[in-house]
């Protein structure tokens, strides 16, 4: 399958809008998750207070990220975990590959990790001759189909049951079925065989506790537990922003994350792993490795607005609530992080010049901000990134035509501002507009109908392509007031 890129969001989105199968699949999202979340948050007494507290914990952590990270490392190492540092995705992949090779494994079982997706770990493993086996049902479907996830929590949300059954028929060799239970049982049977032979398991991390060195991973299926307790070596990939200060802080995040993500009070399983086993006979890996990865995160700390991005706990609530995501799905964003949070994280991770359309993939309606469990002001972030693009700080060389266009645009707005703030120039402008518009007004509106606007003033053509502007009235209120026709109209 051809991989979509963030650079071509507009095109991707247009193609997605014409895909009726995709819309059928996405319809479940709004119907299901949005309602479930609403019910789940009603079971908390003070949801707002909880969000405030979660954000405060994240903010406190991020403002001292160096200290909390080093504390986490010290605690985890004391408990027997091995820590690795990766400046970027390439380094992180190499560390994982080296660890797998050290244990002589030819294949690894993988539990869903967005950080792993972010650095294209599967591709890197395959190139190194190691077979990665995804074990989360959604991730496995995606892997069989040779695609990328389109949702942070439900990777195969863009696929219908029929499409998934077809993949199983082709790749696994079962009879065609429309029974979800049969598909699930088939997954269990086949992946059990892979678990039985696996020596190395790779997972992500939801929270890393500085105080105790504990990593916590949430799930519903049990594949993360199998990955982290059945193998000899467990490798956990952890973004540096996943650290939280205290063990007790887990209380706050375990109340917020499942409710926001899947509308559950708590997911079926949480694994709290603190280093390695002390007794060789116990079940569980002999080695626990934690790969701490920066990959563009530390530079988001440089401004309070961009720093918010690092508070994200990857619940996916903003995707489910977003009217744009609901229509175009995740692949259009051309990044492993889709939806509103993807529109702000992707440009910062891969460079804003490679994802210039993403901060505009929003109507700024604010639904994302309303549902965010850690109160990230995503609209504020979108505007911040848009400003970076228009300021030219992200535009490359001064000869860039894009930059020239932005300059002309800002000049036009300056002149407009000046003219409209003086009474005389305003009146003159209106008179001129009244005369000139005769050419382009149809049925009292300025719009696409005449087609002239696009020819005369191309930048305004973009505006009227989608909506009409009202024509300037033949006489203004002030004029009518002055000559008494308002008073006349009232007495009549």
Partner 1 sequence: MVMTTAREDIIGSIRRHLATSRPFDAVHGEHRHFEVVANQALPVENVTDVRKLLDNFCASAEMLGIHIEIASDEREAAVLIESVIDRTGAKKIAVSNSQLVSEVTEIIETVEFTRNASIDFLFDSDLGITSAQWAIAETGTLVLEAENEDHRLISLVPPVHLCLLEASKIRQTLGEILELTQANLGHAMTFITGASRTSDIELTLAIGVHGPGELHIIVLNDR
Computed on alpha carbons and rounded to an integer, the radius of gyration of the chain in Å comes to 27
Binder among 229, 353, 450, 476 for partner 1 (CB under 8 A) = 229
The total number of residues shown for the chain amounts to 492
If phi > 0 it is left, if psi is from -120 to 50 it is alpha, else beta; for residue 351 that is: left
User: According to the binding rule CB under 8 A, does residue 150 interact with partner 1?
Assistant: no
Number of residues lying near partner 1 (CB under 8 A): 97
Please, where are the H alpha helices in 351-391?
367-371, 378-390
Q: Which is nearer to partner 1, 276 or 327 (CB)?
A: 276
The residue behind tokens 């949300």 is 157
Between CA 6 and CA 3 the distance in angstroms is 10
User: According to the binding rule CB under 8 A, does residue 192 interact with partner 1?
Assistant: yes
Sole window of 220-228, 404-412, 440-448, 462-470 interacting with partner 1 (rule: CB under 8 A): 220-228
Binder among 33, 72, 207, 325 for partner 1 (CB under 8 A) = 33
User: According to the binding rule CB under 8 A, does residue 251 interact with partner 1?
Assistant: yes
User: According to the binding rule CB under 8 A, does residue 175 interact with partner 1?
Assistant: no
Sole window of 121-129, 243-251, 440-448, 457-465 interacting with partner 1 (rule: CB under 8 A): 243-251
Q: Which of 263, 237, 266, 240 is nearest to 253 (CA)?
A: 266
Per the CB < 8 A criterion, the answer to whether 273 and 288 are in contact is yes
Sole window of 100-108, 215-223, 326-334, 339-347 interacting with partner 1 (rule: CB under 8 A): 215-223
265-324 residues near partner 1, rule: CB under 8 A? 265-278, 282-284, 292, 294, 298-304, 307
Q: Which is nearer to partner 1, 268 or 411 (CB)?
A: 268
User: According to the binding rule CB under 8 A, does residue 49 interact with partner 1?
Assistant: yes
Per the CB < 8 A criterion, the answer to whether 153 and 261 are in contact is yes
Between CA 201 and CA 192 the distance in angstroms is 14
User: According to the binding rule CB under 8 A, does residue 392 interact with partner 1?
Assistant: no
User: According to the binding rule CB under 8 A, does residue 169 interact with partner 1?
Assistant: no
Sole window of 185-193, 353-361, 362-370, 438-446 interacting with partner 1 (rule: CB under 8 A): 185-193
In whole angstroms, the minimum distance from the beta carbon of 313 to partner 1 comes to: 15
Q: Which of 415, 330, 335, 343 is nearest to 384 (CA)?
A: 343
In whole angstroms, the minimum distance from the beta carbon of 36 to partner 1 comes to: 9
In whole angstroms, the minimum distance from the beta carbon of 243 to partner 1 comes to: 11
N-term to C-term CA, the chain: 71
User: According to the binding rule CB under 8 A, does residue 141 interact with partner 1?
Assistant: yes
Between CA 410 and CA 390 the distance in angstroms is 9
Q: Which of 254, 236, 245, 237 is nearest to 212 (CA)?
A: 245
Report the DSSP beta bridge partners of residue 134.
Answer: 110
Name the phi and psi angles at 173, rounded to 5: 80, 40
The residue behind tokens 């606007």 is 453
Q: Which is nearer to partner 1, 13 or 86 (CB)?
A: 86
Q: Which of 419, 448, 446 is nearest to 434 (CA)?
A: 446
Fill in the per-residue mask, 50 to 89: x = in contact with partner 1 (CB under 8 A), - = not in contact. Answer: x-xx-xxx-xx--x-xx--xx--------xx----xxx--
Q: Which is nearer to partner 1, 87 or 475 (CB)?
A: 87
User: According to the binding rule CB under 8 A, does residue 155 interact with partner 1?
Assistant: yes
Q: Which is nearer to partner 1, 292 or 471 (CB)?
A: 292
* CB environment 272-293: b (16+ within 10 A), e (fewer): ebbbbeeeeeeeebebbbbbbb
User: According to the binding rule CB under 8 A, does residue 223 interact with partner 1?
Assistant: yes
User: According to the binding rule CB under 8 A, does residue 40 interact with partner 1?
Assistant: no
């Amino acid at each position: 399958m051809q991989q979509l890129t963030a650079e071509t969001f507009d095109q991707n989105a247009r193609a997605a809008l014409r895909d009726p199968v995709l819309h059928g699949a996405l319809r479940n999202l709004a119907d299901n998750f949005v309602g479930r979340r609403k019910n789940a948050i009603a079971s908390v007494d003070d949801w707002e207070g909880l969000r405030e507290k979660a954000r405060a914990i994240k903010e406190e952590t991020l403002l001292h990220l160096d200290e909390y990270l080093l504390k986490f490392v010290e605690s985890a190492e004391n408990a027997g975990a091995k820590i690795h540092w990766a400046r970027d995705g390439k380094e992180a992949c190499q560390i994982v590959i080296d660890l797998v090779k050290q244990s002589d494994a030819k294949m690894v079982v993988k539990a869903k990790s967005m950080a792993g997706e972010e650095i294209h770990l599967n591709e890197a493993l395959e190139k190194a001759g190691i077979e990665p086996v995804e074990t989360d049902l959604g991730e496995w479907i995606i892997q069989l189909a040779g695609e990328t996830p389109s949702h942070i929590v439900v990777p195969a949300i863009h696929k219908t049951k029929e499409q998934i059954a077809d993949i199983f028929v082709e790749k696994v060799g079962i009879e065609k079925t429309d029974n979800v239970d049969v598909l699930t049982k088939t997954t269990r049977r086949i992946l059990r065989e892979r678990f039985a032979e696996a020596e190395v398991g790779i997972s992500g991390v939801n929270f890393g506790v500085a105080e105790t060195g504990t990593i916590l991973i949430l799930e519903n299926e049990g594949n993360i537990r199998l990955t982290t307790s059945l193998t000899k070596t467990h490798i956990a990939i952890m973004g540096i922003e996943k650290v939280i200060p205290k063990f007790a802080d887990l209380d706050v995040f375990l109340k917020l994350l499942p409710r926001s993500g899947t509308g559950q009070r708590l997911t079926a399983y949480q694994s709290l792993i603190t280093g390695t086993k002390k007794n060789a006979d116990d079940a569980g890996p002999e080695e626990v490795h934690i790969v701490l990865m920066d990959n563009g995160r530390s530079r988001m700390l440089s401004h309070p607005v961009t720093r918010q991005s690092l508070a994200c706990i990857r619940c996916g609530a903003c995707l489910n609530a977003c009217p744009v995501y609901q229509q175009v799905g995740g692949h259009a964003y051309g990044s492993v992080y889709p939806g509103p949070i993807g529109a702000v994280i992707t440009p910062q991770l891969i460079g804003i010049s490679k994802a210039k359309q993403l901060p505009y993939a929003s109507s700024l309606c604010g639904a994302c901000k309303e549902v965010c469990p850690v109160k990230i002001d995503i609209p504020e972030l979108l505007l911040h990134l848009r400003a970076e693009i228009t300021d030219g700080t992200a535009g490359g060389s001064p000869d860039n035509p894009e930059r020239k266009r932005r300059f002309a645009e800002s000049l036009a707005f300056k002149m407009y501002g000046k003219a409209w703030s003086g009474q005389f120039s305003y009146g003159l402008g209106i008179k001129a507009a009244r005369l000139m518009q005769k050419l382009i007004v149809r049925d009292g509106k300025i719009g696409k109908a005449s087609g002239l606007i696009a020819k005369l003033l191309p930048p305004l053509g973009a505006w009227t392509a989608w909506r009409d502007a009202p024509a300037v009235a033949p006489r203004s209120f002030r004029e009518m007031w002055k000559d008494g026709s308002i008073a006349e109209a009232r007495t009549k």
